């Protein structure tokens, strides 16, 4: 799915999570059906870093198991850039492991923005995040 549909509540859940972890990066998963997100998972960032994230494996695995047992699909991965930029970093491109929408929540001038990107074969393109 190269675009995803979120509610404003999903967006706020992600922003609250990443804001609470400032100045470190925070991350999580988006699951749903079709292109519609139904569930936001917060996953600890075991890198504990302001510039990179590594999803804590057991939390990631239990989220994947929940998604599968619910008949949903992984639609997106989100993480924050607490000091910008609003686009994917070279590390994000190099480490992208799933064909899903990568949502970047960036804080610039104390204001959070959310943008979506599709990353495949070391190439990225911006995709629509529809907020309903
Ligand atoms: Zn990043």
Average pLDDT value over all residues in the chain: 96
Give the separation between CA 83 and CA 31, rounded to whole angstroms: 26
Interval between CA 82 and ligand 1 midpoint (Å)? 9
Interval between CA 52 and ligand 1 midpoint (Å)? 6
Residues around ion ligand 1, judged by CB within 5 A, are: 89, 92
Q: What is the pLDDT of residues 85-113, one digit of tens each?
A: 999 999 999 999 899 999 999 999 999 99
42: its two tokens: 């917060």
Give the separation between CA 83 and CA 50, rounded to whole angstroms: 8
Interval between CA 81 and ligand 1 midpoint (Å)? 6
pLDDT band at 39 (very low <50, low <70, confident <90, very high): very high
Interval between CA 132 and ligand 1 midpoint (Å)? 25
Residue 3: what are its φ and ψ, rounded to 5°?
-145, 155
Give the separation between CA 90 and CA 78, rounded to whole angstroms: 16
First-to-last CA distance in the chain?
17
| Of 95, 94, 87, residue with least CA distance to 116 | 87
Give the separation between CA 31 and CA 77, rounded to whole angstroms: 9
Tell me the average pLDDT across 29-46: 97
């Amino acid at each position: 799915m190269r675009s995803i549909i979120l509610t404003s509540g999903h967006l706020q859940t992600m922003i609250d999570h990443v804001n609470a972890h400032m100045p470190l990066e925070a991350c999580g998963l988006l699951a749903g059906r079709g292109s519609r997100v139904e569930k936001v998972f917060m996953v600890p960032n075991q890198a504990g870093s302001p510039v990179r994230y590594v999803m804590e494996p057991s939390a990631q695995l239990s989220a994947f198991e929940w998604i599968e047992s619910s008949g949903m699909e992984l639609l997106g991965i989100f993480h924050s850039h607490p000091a910008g930029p609003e686009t994917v970093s070279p590390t994000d491109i190099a480490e992208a492991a799933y064909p899903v929408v990568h949502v970047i929540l960036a804080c610039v001038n104390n204001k959070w923005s959310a943008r979506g990107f599709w990353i495949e074969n070391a190439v990225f393109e911006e995709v629509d995040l529809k907020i309903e």
